[in-house]
């Protein structure tokens, strides 16, 4: 009979695990909705900033004296990778895939003889990369997205990157984050922050871009292009960091929701299997008991 009790205990334990995972799934789903809305709400700013930067960059490139943040430091020896991961686990392959892409990037950069430094955002990223690349990690930032990503945090990160760049410690900076595509899919995206690379215009925007460019030619600048650029570029850096924080946060919630959903389903399957086994064992025990009673009665 001890056997039956073991089954009961296991079923109860799987049930309580299922309750936790399904609660986590619901929390992630609620957070996902908000994170998604925030990511979308933040888009106008970066879009308009890109539009402004685009026209400024063109005229600065034409005049040939673009500031370092735009033109680079002239070398590309030291690369800084900003790796966006989560603080908490239980979100499926989220951190693993960021880790994998980062690892490939580091290895290919090292093969080219470049020096690599890592600035990690999120506790989990540190755990993944510490074993192999511990000596490259400059710092790990934790709790950057609690309860939600804030612009001030992005400014701090950007400021740090800029200080390093200005001190000549790094030449190129790339941020690696999970881009939010849908609740089920995230795409690890490396994006170069320094020197600033203008995103390619989509084919669908082509006609739109043409008219933009025509309009750009006529802009007046106050105070002048150089000064606006020196203000705008650091600003843009913060905005890019903020955008990747928001994307990463939304992706995290999506990944967690999916992971917890399948965990809940797996737990359900397991409970069904265990229940069947439990019933079989119980029936077998009853049958044995009956046989014992009947054969006892016959013997009399």
Partner 1 sequence: MADNAVQFELVSPEKLLLSEDVEMVVVPGVEGDFGVLPGHAPMISTVRPGVIHVFEGGSVKTRIFVAGGFAEVTTERCTILAEEAVALDDIDRAGVEKDLQDANEDIRDAGGDATQLALAEARADTARAKLVSLDNLVYQ
Catalytic residues: 91
For the chain, the straight-line distance linking the first and the last C-alpha, in angstroms and rounded, comes to: 27
Q: How far apart are CA 284 and CA 240, in angstroms?
A: 65
Query: Does position 231 bind partner 1 by CB under 8 A?
Result: yes
Q: How far is the CB of 225 from partner 1 (least distance, A)?
A: 9
Binding region for partner 1 (CB under 8 A) out of 72-80, 110-118, 235-243, 254-262? 235-243
Q: How many residues bind partner 1 (CB under 8 A)?
A: 33
Nearest to 193 by CA among 162, 167, 163, 232: 162
Query: Does position 153 bind partner 1 by CB under 8 A?
Result: no
Characterize 128-167 residue by residue with b for buried, 16 or more Cβ atoms within 10 angstroms of its Cβ, and e for exposed. bbeeebeebbeebbeebbeeebeeebbbebbebbbebbee
* CB closer to partner 1, 52 vs 271: 52
Residues 69-128 that bind partner 1 (CB under 8 A): none
* CB closer to partner 1, 205 vs 227: 227
Residue 185 is inside which H or E element, if any?
none
Query: Does position 214 bind partner 1 by CB under 8 A?
Result: no
The binder of partner 1 chosen from 55, 95, 102, 258 (CB under 8 A): 55
Q: Are 83 and 98 in contact (CB under 8 A)?
A: yes
Query: Does position 33 bind partner 1 by CB under 8 A?
Result: no
Query: Quick one: tokens of 59?
Result: 């005229």
Q: How far apart are CA 124 and CA 84, in angstroms?
A: 10
Q: How far apart are CA 131 and CA 41, in angstroms?
A: 38
The binder of partner 1 chosen from 232, 250, 257, 263 (CB under 8 A): 232
Taking CB under 8 A as the rule, which mask of x and - marks residues 159-198 in contact with partner 1?
Answer: xx--x-----------------------------------
Q: How far is the CB of 189 from partner 1 (least distance, A)?
A: 20
Q: How far is the CB of 256 from partner 1 (least distance, A)?
A: 23
Binding region for partner 1 (CB under 8 A) out of 61-69, 192-200, 221-229, 289-297? 221-229
Q: Are 264 and 258 in contact (CB under 8 A)?
A: no
Q: How far apart are CA 23 and CA 28, in angstroms?
A: 9
Query: Does position 213 bind partner 1 by CB under 8 A?
Result: no
Query: Does position 221 bind partner 1 by CB under 8 A?
Result: yes
Q: Are 33 and 250 in contact (CB under 8 A)?
A: no
Nearest to 88 by CA among 248, 252, 241: 252
Query: Does position 238 bind partner 1 by CB under 8 A?
Result: yes
Q: Residues interacting with partner 1, by CB under 8 A? A: 38, 41-42, 44-45, 48-49, 51-52, 55-56, 151, 154-156, 159-160, 163, 215, 218-223, 227-228, 231-232, 235, 238-239, 242
């Amino acid at each position: 009979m001890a056997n039956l009790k073991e089954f009961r205990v296991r079923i109860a334990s799987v049930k309580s695990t299922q309750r936790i995972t399904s609660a986590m799934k619901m929390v992630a789903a609620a957070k996902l909705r908000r994170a998604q809305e925030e990511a979308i709400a933040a888009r106008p700013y970066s879009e308009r900033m890109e539009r402004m930067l685009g026209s400024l960059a063109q005229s600065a490139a034409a005049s040939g004296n673009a500031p370092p943040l735009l033109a680079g430091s002239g070398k590309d020896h030291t690369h800084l990778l900003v790796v966006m991961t989560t603080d908490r686990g239980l979100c499926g392959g989220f951190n693993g895939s960021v880790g994998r892409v980062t690892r490939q990037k580091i290895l290919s950069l090292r093969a080219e003889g470049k020096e690599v430094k890592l600035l990690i955002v999120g506790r989990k990223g540190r755990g993944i990369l510490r074993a192999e690349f511990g000596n490259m990690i400059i710092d790990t930032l934790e709790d950057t997205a609690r309860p939600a990503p804030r612009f001030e945090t992005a400014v701090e990160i950007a400021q740090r990157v800029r200080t390093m760049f200005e001190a000549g410690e790094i030449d190129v900076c790339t941020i690696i984050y999970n881009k939010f595509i849908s609740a089920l899919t995230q795409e690890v995206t490396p994006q170069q922050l320094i020197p600033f690379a203008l995103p390619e215009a989509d084919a669908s925007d082509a006609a739109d871009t043409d008219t933009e460019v025509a309009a750009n030619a006529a802009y007046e600048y106050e105070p002048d292009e150089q000064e606006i650029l020196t203000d705008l570029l650091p600003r843009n850096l913060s905005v890019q960091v903020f955008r990747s924080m928001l994307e990463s946060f939304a992706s995290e919630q999506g990944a967690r929701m999916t992971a917890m959903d399948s965990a809940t389903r797996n737990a359900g399957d397991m409970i069904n299997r265990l229940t069947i086994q439990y019933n079989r064992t119980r029936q077998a025990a009853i049958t044995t008991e009956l046989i014992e009673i009947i054969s006892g009665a016959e013997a009399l």
